[in-house]
Amino acid sequence: MTSPSAPVSFEFFPTKTDAGHAKLIAAAHVLAGENPEFFSVTYGAGGSTRDRTLNTVLQLDQEVKVPTAPHLSCVGDSKEDLRSLLQQYRESGIQRIVALRGDLPSGMGQASGELRYANELVEFIRAETGDHFTIEVAAYPEAHPQARNYEQDLTNFVRKARAGADSAITQYFFNADCYFHFVERVRKAGVDIPIIPGIMPITNYSKLARFSDACGAEIPRWIRKQLEAYGDDSDSIAAFGTDVITDMCQRLLDGGAPGLHFYTLNQAEASLAVWRNLRG
């Protein structure tokens, strides 16, 4: 394997329990040793994790000492909520934000926020805070699950980038070609922001299958069949998953991907196994 000089970042989700939070912080300490460009922490659309996201971001940034980016979503939050969060982050020295529309959890009803799409949130952040924040947005190489079609989704991505995004992180995928095709189409549309592949390590087949159905990530048949065959043999799943994801990441980096963003699910091992393989 060649050593990647490309930057790496790691994503966490805020937990509900003290034990879960302690695991997150332990994983973050391990991953901090890889000198990541940044950590990020997800946000429950509608504000369900507002305080937990804020506290986790500040702890990772100030105690673990890795620059940390909060995710911020606009469905279900008022402009006043968003303004106040932006102000708290700014005053705490946070410099990067992942700006999203978000998905309201089932049971929270229809979106009630004043901003409907991520491009409006990006415009809002720029209007409120100028160039203070580096803004990341989401990208969908396999198209967003609610998109009417690929072309409209691409147009919507381009609009979001032009609204003032500095960089994008993709939904995860298991097929490098969809990433290369997406980047090519975005470049042809005249948008040149970095598009960083979001990488989901493979550790548990049933959870992965459920999650992938919901977010529109296709698990290729040969990967599904192989994972099904392993059943409950978690060591074999982890070994196979590490090989498959390492190979894909190597292809992505060789093909010009400007970095990798790992969805850690608050666990260091699986992301680290892939990243260390790539480092050689």
Minimum distance between the CB of residue 17 and ligand FAD, rounded to whole angstroms?
19
Question: Least distance to ligand FAD from the beta carbon of 244, Å?
Answer: 20
- Residue 98 has phi, psi (to 5 degrees) of -100, 110
For the record, the structure tokens of 42 come out as 């997800």
Residue (150 or 180) nearer to ligand FAD, CB: 150
Burial 246-274 (b: 16+ CB within 10 A, else e): bebbbebbeeebebbbbbbbbbbebbbbb
Q: What is the CA radius of gyration of the chain?
A: 18
Burial class of 3 by CB neighbour count within 10 A (0 to 12, 13 to 18, 19+): exposed
Query: Whose Cβ is closer to ligand FAD: residue 136's or residue 237's?
Result: 136
User: In the complex with ligand FAD, which residue's Cβ is closer, 172 or 275?
Assistant: 172
Per annotation, catalytic residue among 11, 120, 123, 136: 11
SS3 state at 195: strand
What interhelical angle do 221-230 and 234-254 show, nearest 10? 160
Write the single-letter amino acid at 192: D
Please state the closest distance from residue 142 (CB atom) to ligand FAD, in A: 11
CB nearer to ligand FAD: pick between 199 and 238: 199
- In the complex, the smallest distance separating the C-beta of residue 265 from ligand FAD, rounded to whole angstroms, is 13
Closest distance to ligand FAD from the beta carbon of 181 (Å)? 17
Q: Which residues make up the interface to ligand FAD (CB under 6 A)? A: 42-43, 45, 71, 73, 98, 100-103, 117-119, 138, 144, 146-147, 152-153, 156, 159-160, 169, 171, 198
For residue 274, give both structure tokens. Answer: 């892939």
136 membership: H or E segment, kind and range: strand 134-139
First vs last C-alpha separation in the chain: 5
Query: Is 123 a catalytic site residue?
Result: no
* Closer to ligand FAD by Cβ: residue 100 or 278: 100
The residues that are catalytic are 11
